[in-house]
Structure formats: structure tokens, C-alpha cells
């Protein structure tokens, strides 16, 4: 399950710029509203405490620092990536620098100019003439107002003196009133009043509008009365929403009573308005003066913050634009790296309809085509390799430096090498091939190099053949070597190819066939005259008896003739048998029985030669011609017997022994038939010749026995070899494939093994 946080992050990074901007503005508006709500305002239901404001300030500072951090981090990341030469970092750096430069330079210029203009404008507000005029207006208003206060106080003072000088008393209220009224009218006062105490008014004269509450002044304040009754003459100003009243309090002794004379002067409405206007203007001017620097700072700070935001926005925009370019390019680059490594399934995904998307689509097409081509080439290669591996002919591909490029298993089998063909790749051909083959092959290759084919410009040279005879594992081998030069159409040398075909068996078969034909003809030609010769001799023998003169001589002569004719007949019979090898009658035969029978037939009492048979129990029945196998066994054992008899006569061997062993080699799928003797052995140079017809070292031998054995083995698609025993003796090993004719291919794959 993907966590919700991860889902959000995936959605956030996949969402477009429009959504992010919308979210950004929404959050900003929310924050703005929160700040506005937090602002102390009148009787808001929420009254933020100092802690809340302090926290908000710190939060704002933190946000400011985060902004600075983000800008700094982005900038640092750009530089760092560029230094590390990360793909796309140069482009990103240039784009961001360009966009930031394009926005920053005008923004900085604008700020510089705006700051200058702003400073000038603000300073202009507070120029000397402006300040002087404001101050002068204020002074004039103040002077006028003070004049009014002084006049009112003067009036109160003069009135109290007048009252005292006239020795008016409280009881003469009418007199007092008349005086006060006359003075009130003369001085255009609002009201004149005499108080006994703060609550009791003795005399009062006032303006006619005093009865209208809207125009009536507020009652004098207690503290004013306290001051006045304590003897302090003073002036106070009292206001109503509509008017200003100047009140002069003058202590007075009326009769013997201490009273307070209160003179009230109402400032004219026009004057009040004018004074209010001046007051307001002055206050505003003072406010402006007070906030000049904070105002200046605020405006400049605003400019800087806007510039900062613009810079950040420009940087962010630059990064986003750069990312839109560099991220797909990076993906393409990674894709190319993967393709270079051999991963042709690599696909790059990019949404959009721009040039990058076009490039990406082309890249994907290219990788698909590459993959298909590679797969086709691979399947062709596998096909060719399979064909090569299954060829019965050995193939060696050689590069121009005479090193092996490729070799198939047929070559390894023919040359009795280990099966891992890869381990021979790169090895020198000279070290790989037997020396006899290399000598011939080298000549072939040299012939090709200097041949006319190169001049003719053919793509491949004419193939040259040569048969090579060499010895391998004590056996004579015949190999048909075919070499060819490989060239491109441009006549560049690719190397050469060497084909090896083991024609040993074929050659032997051809030789045997030739021998048989010769034997058949000779036997046929010789046999015919033998009968009449023998008959004639017999007749002569009968014609002359031994007692007659000369009869003994004729008798001996004819006897000799007849014996030799018989001998020649036996020889021709052998020839005939060799020539006319019967057709094979294959049937499932128990080899164990054949071996036992053969060995038993030679065991006789008094024989100095001991016989032993060793037969494995798991030897399977084979598809063989039983008669031929018997003949084979007889010939092999007979050979061994003859060799041991000679050995005994020469007193070379005191315990002659013949062992016949039948075993199965499951790994190679063969049944091995061995005839061992501890006779004199066969010299190495004769091991190859013993299976050839008419090769014999015994007097009276026909030389056909082992040739017949070899022929029988070949008919059964087996193999035969002669190996020396240690310390003395001979092993003749015959191998039969377990699966008979149907898997003759397996015979080619068998490896030679020795115990």
C-alpha cells in the first residue's frame, strides 16, 4: 500500500505549474487573511496576546528565512551541480542565469531608481518651506487662541475688579446681573456666572442660544472649581461636539463671601472650524514627519521584498523551464547509456507534443529497431553456432593474426582436446593444431595469400585441400584439410577458415576394399590352376610306385607338390574369406556369453598359458553379428596365444597370461572388450600397421587376422586400438557403441580414454 504522503508527493510533482501556482496563491491568501485577522482592530472578538503576536512575528521571520534559504539553496545547487558536471546542469545554470539576469537587472535598476525617487519625494514632503508654513499656521492659530484665552482671562479679571470696585454684593443680584450682562454684550461673551460653590450659581447671564442644548457649553469641571476656590485664577477650554468654550475662573470676594467668577467665551464656529483644520493639518504633518523614515523604510522594504520575490520567481521559473528541457535530455542520456550496455528494451517516457517528445519517440523507435536487429542477429548467430556444433566436419576460424576466433566441437573431438571451445579462442593456431597439420595448413594459407585471388579481388579465396597423415594417441589418423581465406567486399582480410575432415575410417575402408578386391582376384586366379596341378601330381604319384626305379624320387616330388598345393589352397581360402566378408546379421546378443565361450574354448589342461575373463554384470546386450564377434574374439585371443607361445619358447615369460575383459563405459555409451596379454608387446611404430592386411611377423602367418578384426569392428561402427601394458604386455581394446547403428553420430563424439 502506498502511503498517503507518497501519493501526495507523486501527485504534487506530477501536477502542472498552473495547479501549483493556484495552490501557492491560495495558501498566500490564506496566510494574508490570517495575518489580517490577527491584526488588532477595535473590539475584535479575538484579542491576540503578546505571545501570539510574538509567535506570529517569529513565524513571519521564519518564513522570510525559508524564502532566503530556498533562493540560496537553489543557487547553491545550481553551482554545485555545474561543478560536478551533472548532465543538464550547464544548460540549467545558463537558463536560470539568463532568466534571473533578465529579470534581476531591470528589477535592480528599477529599485535603485525608485528608491532615489522615493527618497526625493519623501524629502520633498518635509521641505523647509512646507514645514515653515505649517508651523507658522499652527503658531498663528495658537497665538490667536491664546489671545482669546488671555482676553477672556483679562475680561474676567477686569470684571472682578469692577465688581469689587463697585462693592456690589450678593444681595444686589439685579445690579450684578445688569453689570454682567452689559459687559457680556460688550465683550461678546457667551456667559458670565458667579458661583458660590461648585453647585450653587449666584448670578448667571448667558447668550440666547444657551437654552439650546446643542449649543450650550458643558458644566465647569470640579477641579476648575477647586482651583478657583483655592484662589487660583486660571483659564480652561471645554469642548462640545459643536463648539469650543474658553472659561476663565477668577476668584472674587463679593461682600465677604468668596465666590468664583466664571467668564465663558464661545469660540466662533468659523474660527473653530479653521482652528480644527489647522490642528488637523498640523497633526497630519507631524505624523508624516514622525513616520518619514519608517515610511521610507517600508516603501524600500516593499520594493526589496518585491524584488526578492521577483528574483525567486525568476529563479524558480528558470529552474522549471530548465527542468522541462534537461530532465527529458537526462532521461534520454540514461537511455543511451543503457542501450550502450546492451539493454535494447530501454524505453524513455515523456509526455508532451514538443521537440523533446519527438526526439524521445525517435529514440524509442531506434531502440526497438536495434532490439529487433539484435535479436535477429542473435538468432542467426545461435543458428550458425548450432549448425557448426553439429557438423561432423571440424571448423576453425582464424583471424589475420593467426589466432583462433572460433572452433567447433568436431575439431576438439577429432584432435582429442577438452570440450570447452571457448578456452581455445585467442590461442595461436600453431599451438592448437598437431604439428603435421599446421605445416600443411600453413602452406595452404601461404599459398592463398600469395595467390592470384587477391589480385582478382574475389570476396573469398578458392579453397585448397590437402590430406594430412599424423599420429594421435598412438593411432594413425588421416585428415582432409581444406583452407580458405575470408575477405570482405572491399578486399579487407577478415581471416581464414580451416575445415578438418577425419577420413581415417574412410581411407581405411577404401584400403580394405582395395585389398579385398585384390585378394579376391588373386585367390580366384591362383585357385583355378591349383586343382589340376594337384590332380596331375596325384596321378603321377599313382603311376610310379615307390619300388620302381626312380619311383622314390617321383613319389617324394609329387608328395611335395601336393603338400605345397594344399598350402597354397589354404592361403587362397584365407584370401577368399578376407575378400568375401559376409553380410552382417545384427541381432541382440549377450556379449557376456560370447566372451565366456571364447575363453573356455582355449582353456585346456596342461597349457602353460592361463586364461581369465572379467565380465561386468551391467554390460547390456548389443546389436551385433554374433558369428563375427566370435571370429573377432578368436582372432584376438589367437594372436595373443601366438605371441605368448613365442615368448615362452624364448623363455622370456614364466607365467604367460591372457585376460579377456568385458565392461561398459556409461559416460561414453560404449561397451569395451579388452584382450590383454603379458607378452612382448608391440613396438609403437608397428601399432598402426598391425591392422593392415598381410602384416605379420610370424613365419607362416597370413597377416589377415587383425585385418579381419579391424574390418569387423568397422562394420559394427566400433573402434579398436592397441595400448602397451606396464611393465610388459599388450592391450587390445575394442569399443562398441551401446546404441548401435542408429546413433553413429554419437560415435564421433566419443572421447578416448585409458584406464
Partner 1 sequence: MIFRQSFVLVLGIFLLVYPAFSSAEEEARITVQWSPRPAGLSLFRDRSFSVLFPLSTRETRECIDAGLELEHRFLFRLCRQVNGFTTDCRTTKRVVHNLSYDPIQDAYRIMKDRLDDQEDPTLSSHRVFDDSLGEASLVRELPIWYVLDSQEDDPPLLGNGNWSIGMRVRTTCKGEMREFLADLSYFVSFGIIDIYGTDSGCEYFRLVE
Closest approach, Cβ 216 to partner 1, in A, equals 12
**Interacting residue with partner 1 among 30, 64, 401, 427 (CB under 8 A):** 64
C-beta atoms surrounding 112 within 10 Å: 11
CA distance 457 to 490: 8
Closest approach, Cβ 302 to partner 1, in A, equals 5
**Per CB under 8 A, 301 contacts partner 1:** yes
Measure Cα distances from 81 to 73, 85, 312 in Å: 12, 6, 19
Contact 598, 633 (CB under 8 A): yes
Closest approach, Cβ 54 to partner 1, in A, equals 7
Considering only residues 576 to 615 of the shown chain, the ones binding partner 1 according to CB under 8 A are none
C-beta atoms surrounding 466 within 10 Å: 15
Strands laid side by side in the 475-487 sheet:
404-407, 394-398, 493-502, 475-487, 464-472
The DSSP result for 471-504, as a single string, is EETTEEEEEEEEEEEEE-TT--EEEEEEEEEE-H
Closest approach, Cβ 361 to partner 1, in A, equals 39
Contact 97, 321 (CB under 8 A): no
Closest approach, Cβ 65 to partner 1, in A, equals 5
Considering only residues 126 to 165 of the shown chain, the ones binding partner 1 according to CB under 8 A are 138, 141-142, 145-146
Give the nearer residue to partner 1 in terms of CB position, either 94 or 221.
221
| C-alpha cell belonging to residue 185 | 454684550
**Per CB under 8 A, 345 contacts partner 1:** no
Contact 599, 660 (CB under 8 A): yes
Q: Identify the residue whose cell numbers are 489580517.
A: 36
Measure Cα distances from 653 to 324, 368, 626, 627, 675 in Å: 98, 79, 33, 33, 18
The site string for partner 1 over 200-219 (x = CB under 8 A, - otherwise) reads ------------------x-
The site string for partner 1 over 237-266 (x = CB under 8 A, - otherwise) reads xxx---------------------------
The DSSP result for 373-440, as a single string, is HHHHHHHHHHHHHHHHHH-SSEEEEE-TTSBEEEE-HHHHHHTT--S-GGGGTTSBHHHHS-HHHHHH
**Per CB under 8 A, 542 contacts partner 1:** no
Closest approach, Cβ 343 to partner 1, in A, equals 33
Closest approach, Cβ 104 to partner 1, in A, equals 21
CA distance 497 to 629: 42
**Per CB under 8 A, 117 contacts partner 1:** no
**Interacting residue with partner 1 among 226, 284, 473, 573 (CB under 8 A):** 284
Give the nearer residue to partner 1 in terms of CB position, either 287 or 365.
287
Closest approach, Cβ 56 to partner 1, in A, equals 5
Give the nearer residue to partner 1 in terms of CB position, either 69 or 383.
69
Give the nearer residue to partner 1 in terms of CB position, either 298 or 347.
298
Closest approach, Cβ 318 to partner 1, in A, equals 19
Give the nearer residue to partner 1 in terms of CB position, either 77 or 158.
77
**Interacting residue with partner 1 among 147, 242, 283, 488 (CB under 8 A):** 283
**Interacting residue with partner 1 among 62, 102, 309, 600 (CB under 8 A):** 62
Contact 677, 643 (CB under 8 A): yes
**Per CB under 8 A, 358 contacts partner 1:** no
Give the closest residue to 668 by CA, choosing from 614, 593, 595, 743. Answer: 743
Closest approach, Cβ 209 to partner 1, in A, equals 19
Only one of the segments 6-14, 96-104, 236-244, 621-629 lies at the binding site for partner 1 (rule: CB under 8 A); that segment is: 236-244
Give the nearer residue to partner 1 in terms of CB position, either 57 or 102.
57
Closest approach, Cβ 249 to partner 1, in A, equals 13
**Per CB under 8 A, 503 contacts partner 1:** no
3-state secondary structure (DSSP) of residue 14:
helix
**Per CB under 8 A, 72 contacts partner 1:** yes
**Per CB under 8 A, 69 contacts partner 1:** yes
Strand partners, 676: 659, 731
CA distance 248 to 264: 7
**Per CB under 8 A, 545 contacts partner 1:** no
**Interacting residue with partner 1 among 7, 11, 27, 58 (CB under 8 A):** 58
Binding footprint of partner 1, residue count (CB under 8 A):
56
* 700: phi then psi, degrees, rounded to nearest 5: 85, -5
**Per CB under 8 A, 54 contacts partner 1:** yes
**Interacting residue with partner 1 among 25, 32, 37, 694 (CB under 8 A):** 32
Give the nearer residue to partner 1 in terms of CB position, either 47 or 340.
47
Closest approach, Cβ 321 to partner 1, in A, equals 24
CA distance 648 to 42: 142
**Per CB under 8 A, 22 contacts partner 1:** no
Contact 171, 257 (CB under 8 A): no
Closest approach, Cβ 290 to partner 1, in A, equals 3
Q: Identify the residue whose cell numbers are 502506498.
A: 2
**Per CB under 8 A, 29 contacts partner 1:** no
Cα 359 vs. chain centroid, distance in angstroms? 21
**Interacting residue with partner 1 among 10, 53, 428, 535 (CB under 8 A):** 53
Q: Parallel, antiparallel, or unpaired: how do β-strands 244-254 and 257-266 relate?
A: antiparallel
**Per CB under 8 A, 295 contacts partner 1:** yes
**Per CB under 8 A, 291 contacts partner 1:** yes
Only one of the segments 32-40, 409-417, 580-588, 599-607 lies at the binding site for partner 1 (rule: CB under 8 A); that segment is: 32-40
DSSP 8-class letter at 226: H
Give the nearer residue to partner 1 in terms of CB position, either 241 or 606.
241
**Per CB under 8 A, 290 contacts partner 1:** yes
**Per CB under 8 A, 44 contacts partner 1:** no
| C-alpha cell belonging to residue 359 | 526526439
Closest approach, Cβ 51 to partner 1, in A, equals 9
Cα 193 vs. chain centroid, distance in angstroms? 106
The DSSP result for 81-132, as a single string, is HHHTT-TTHHHHHHHHHHHHHHHHHHHHHHHHHHHHHHHHHHHHHT-HHHHH
DSSP 8-class letter at 368: H
Contact 494, 457 (CB under 8 A): no
Whether a cis peptide bond, with omega within 30° of 0, leads into 727 is: yes
Closest approach, Cβ 53 to partner 1, in A, equals 7
**Per CB under 8 A, 87 contacts partner 1:** no
Give the nearer residue to partner 1 in terms of CB position, either 312 or 544.
312
**Per CB under 8 A, 50 contacts partner 1:** yes
**Per CB under 8 A, 109 contacts partner 1:** no
Give the nearer residue to partner 1 in terms of CB position, either 218 or 582.
218
Closest approach, Cβ 198 to partner 1, in A, equals 15
Give the closest residue to 153 by CA, choosing from 424, 603, 161, 138. Answer: 161
Polymer length in residues for the chain: 755
The DSSP result for 16-58, as a single string, is -HHHHHHHHHHHHHHHHHHHHHHS--TT-SS---HHHHHHHHH
Only one of the segments 40-48, 396-404, 434-442, 741-749 lies at the binding site for partner 1 (rule: CB under 8 A); that segment is: 40-48
**Per CB under 8 A, 73 contacts partner 1:** yes
3-state secondary structure (DSSP) of residue 635:
helix
Binding site for partner 1 (CB under 8 A): 32, 35-36, 39-40, 43, 47-50, 53-54, 56-65, 69, 72-73, 76, 138, 141-142, 145-146, 218, 221, 236-239, 275, 278-279, 282-291, 294-295, 298, 301-302, 305
Amino acid at each position: 500500500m502506498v502511503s498517503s504522503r507518497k501519493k501526495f508527493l507523486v501527485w504534487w510533482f506530477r501536477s502542472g505549474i498552473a495547479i501549483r501556482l493556484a495552490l501557492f496563491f491560495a495558501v498566500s491568501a490564506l496566510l494574508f487573511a490570517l495575518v489580517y485577522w490577527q491584526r488588532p482592530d477595535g473590539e475584535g472578538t479575538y484579542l491576540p496576546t503578546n505571545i501570539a503576536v510574538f509567535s506570529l512575528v517569529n513565524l513571519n521571520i521564519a518564513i522570510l528565512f525559508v524564502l532566503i534559504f530556498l533562493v540560496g539553496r537553489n543557487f547553491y545547487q545550481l553551482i554545485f551541480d555545474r561543478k560536478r558536471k551533472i548532465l543538464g546542469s550547464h544548460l540549467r545554470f545558463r537558463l536560470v542565469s539568463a532568466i534571473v539576469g533578465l529579470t534581476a537587472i531591470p528589477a535592480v535598476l528599477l529599485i535603485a531608481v525608485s528608491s532615489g525617487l522615493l527618497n526625493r519625494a519623501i524629502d520633498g514632503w518635509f521641505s523647509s518651506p512646507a514645514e515653515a508654513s505649517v508651523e507658522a499656521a499652527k503658531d498663528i492659530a495658537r497665538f490667536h487662541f491664546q489671545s482669546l484665552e488671555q482676553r477672556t482671562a483679562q475680561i474676567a479679571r477686569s470684571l472682578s475688579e469692577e465688581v469689587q470696585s463697585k462693592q456690589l454684593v450678593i444681595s444686589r443680584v439685579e445690579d450684578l446681573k445688569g453689570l454682567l450682562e452689559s459687559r457680556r454684550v460688550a465683550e461678546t461673551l457667551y456667559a458670565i456666572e458667579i458661583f458660590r460653590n461648585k453647585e450653587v450659581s449666584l448670578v448667571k447671564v448667558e447668550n440666547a442660544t444657551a437654552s439650546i442644548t446643542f449649543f450650550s457649553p458643558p458644566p465647569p469641571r470640579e477641579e476648575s472649581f477647586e482651583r478657583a476656590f483655592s484662589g487660583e485664577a486660571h483659564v480652561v477650554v471645554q469642548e462640545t461636539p459643536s463648539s469650543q468654550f474658553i472659561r476663565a475662573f477668577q476668584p472674587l470676594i463679593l461682600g465677604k463671601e468668596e465666590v468664583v467668577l466664571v467668564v465663558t467665551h464661545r469660540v466662533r464656529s468659523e474660527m473653530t472650524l479653521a482652528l480644527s483644520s489647522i490642528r488637523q493639518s498640523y497633526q497630519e504633518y507631524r505624523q508624516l514627519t514622525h513616520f518619514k523614515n519608517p515610511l521610507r523604510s517600508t516603501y524600500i522594504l516593499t520594493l526589496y521584498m518585491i524584488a526578492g520575490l521577483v528574483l525567486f520567481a525568476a529563479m524558480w521559473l528558470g529552474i522549471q523551464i530548465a527542468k522541462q528541457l534537461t530532465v527529458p535530455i537526462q532521461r534520454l542520456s540514461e537511455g543511451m547509456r543503457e542501450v550502450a550496455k546492451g539493454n535494447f528494451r530501454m524505453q524513455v517516457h515523456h509526455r508532451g507534443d514538443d521537440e523533446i517528445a519527438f526526439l524521445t519517440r525517435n529514440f524509442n523507435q531506434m531502440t526497438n529497431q536495434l532490439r529487433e536487429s539484435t535479436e535477429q542477429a542473435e538468432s542467426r548467430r545461435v543458428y550458425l553456432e548450432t549448425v557448426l556444433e553439429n557438423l561432423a566436419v571440424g571448423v576453425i576460424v582464424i583471424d589475420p593474426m593467426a589466432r583462433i576466433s572460433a572452433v567447433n566441437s568436431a575439431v576438439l573431438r577429432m584432435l582429442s582436446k577438452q570440450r570447452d571451445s571457448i578456452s581455445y579462442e585467442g590461442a595461436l593456431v600453431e599451438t592448437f593444431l598437431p604439428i603435421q597439420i599446421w605445416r600443411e595448413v600453413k602452406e595452404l594459407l601461404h599459398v592463398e595469400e600469395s595467390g592470384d585471388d587477391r589480385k582478382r579481388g574475389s570476396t573469398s579465396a578458392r579453397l585448397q585441400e590437402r590430406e594430412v597423415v599424423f599420429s594421435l594417441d598412438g593411432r594413425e589418423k588421416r585428415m582432409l584439410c581444406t583452407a580458405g581465406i575470408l575477405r570482405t567486399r572491399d578486399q579487407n582480410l577478415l581471416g581464414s577458415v580451416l575445415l578438418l575432415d577425419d577420413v581415417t575410417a574412410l581411407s581405411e575402408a577404401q584400403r580394405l576394399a582395395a585389398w579385398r578386391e585384390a585378394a579376391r582376384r588373386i585367390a580366384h586366379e591362383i585357385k583355378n590352376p591349383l586343382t589340376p596341378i594337384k590332380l596331375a601330381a596325384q596321378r603321377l604319384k599313382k603311376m610310379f610306385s615307390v619300388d620302381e626305379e626312380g619311383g622314390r624320387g617321383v613319389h617324394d616330388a609329387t608328395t611335395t607338390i601336393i603338400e605345397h598345393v594344399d598350402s597354397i589352397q589354404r592361403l587362397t581360402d584365407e584370401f577368399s574369406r578376407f575378400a568375401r566378408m559376409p553380410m552382417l546379421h545384427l541381432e541382440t546378443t549377450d556379449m557376456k556369453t560370447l566372451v565366456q565361450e571364447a575363453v573356455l574354448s582355449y582353456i585346456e589342461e596342461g597349457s602353460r598359458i592361463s586364461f581369465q575373463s572379467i565380465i561386468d554384470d551391467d554390460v547390456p546386450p548389443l546389436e551385433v553379428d554374433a558369428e563375427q564377434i566370435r571370429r573377432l574374439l578368436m582372432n584376438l585371443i589367437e594372436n595373443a596365444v601366438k605371441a605368448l607361445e613365442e615368448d615362452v619358447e624364448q623363455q622370456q615369460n614364466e607365467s604367460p597370461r591372457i585376460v579377456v575383459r568385458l565392461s561398459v563405459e556409461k559416460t561414453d555409451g560404449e561397451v569395451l572388450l579388452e584382450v590383454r596379454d603379458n607378452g612382448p608387446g608391440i613396438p609403437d611404430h608397428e601399432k598402426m600397421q598391425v591392422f593392415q592386411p598381410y602384416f605379420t611377423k610370424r613365419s607362416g602367418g597370413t597377416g589377415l587376422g587383425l585385418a579381419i578384426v579391424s574390418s569387423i569392428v568397422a562394420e559394427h561402427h566400433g573402434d579398436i586400438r592397441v595400448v602397451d601394458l606396464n611393465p610388459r604386455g599388450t592391450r587390445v581394446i575394442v569399443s562398441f557403441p551401446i546404441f548401435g547403428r542408429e546413433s553413429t553420430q554419437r560415435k564421433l563424439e566419443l572421447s578416448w580414454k585409458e584406464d
